Amino acid sequence: MSEDAIAAEHEIVLEAQKDEMAFGKLYDKYFDGIFGFVYRRTDDEALTADLTSQVFLKALQNIKKYEYRGLPFSAWLYRIASNEVNHYYRKHNKTVIFSLEEGRVADLIDETEESSEERIAVLMKCLKEMPTSIIEVLELRFFEEKNFNEIAFILEITESGAKMRTYRALEKLKGSFDIKMKQYNG
């Protein structure tokens, strides 16, 4: 998202802070993204619908407290969503799920590689062995295409911490895979 686009979006946020009805524009823009993000962490459609609704309700209730930090508004929504999902898992004493679509996982592997199905299976196995803290960073970096600044804000960690987790995971994966360098360096 370009700086101009972020600034233009901030105008809508300011409007929503004055008049709650303007929040509808932000709701329409980000509903699908947040729904997908929550769904990948729950793998349950009904639960995702509930949690997503809760995310937007919290955002609406706290819109006046929102502070612009040069990041897209979505980063704030993802932060609320991440907290909501974690809160749900803590409350129900369940293990966090990360469901990644095979098609999106395949994007990480070089298309020229042979027997990609097997490679995807190996990659999925590698991902399963990784701790949740690393998976969530990888997910935001590669599947949600967030930059490190946004990841740091969403997960309430430092930017260097987010980079460290990503590089550590990629170093591990690079042993078995040719991770696309464009995404690695991005």
Q: Which residues bind other proteins (CB under 8 A)?
A: 20-21, 24, 27-28, 31-32, 35-36, 39, 45, 48-49, 52-53, 56-57, 60-61
Q: Which is nearer to other proteins, 46 or 129 (CB)?
A: 46
- Provide the minimum distance between the beta carbon of 4 and other proteins in the complex, in angstroms, as a whole number: 26
- Provide the minimum distance between the beta carbon of 101 and other proteins in the complex, in angstroms, as a whole number: 9
Rounded distance between C-alpha atoms, residue 119 and residue 18, angstroms: 51
Q: Which is nearer to other proteins, 99 or 176 (CB)?
A: 99
Rounded distance between C-alpha atoms, residue 137 and residue 110, angstroms: 21
- Provide the minimum distance between the beta carbon of 24 and other proteins in the complex, in angstroms, as a whole number: 5
> How large is the C-alpha radius of gyration of the chain?
17
Q: Which is nearer to other proteins, 56 or 142 (CB)?
A: 56
Q: Of 10, 17, 12, 19, nearest to 64 (Cα)?
A: 17
Rounded distance between C-alpha atoms, residue 26 and residue 9, angstroms: 9
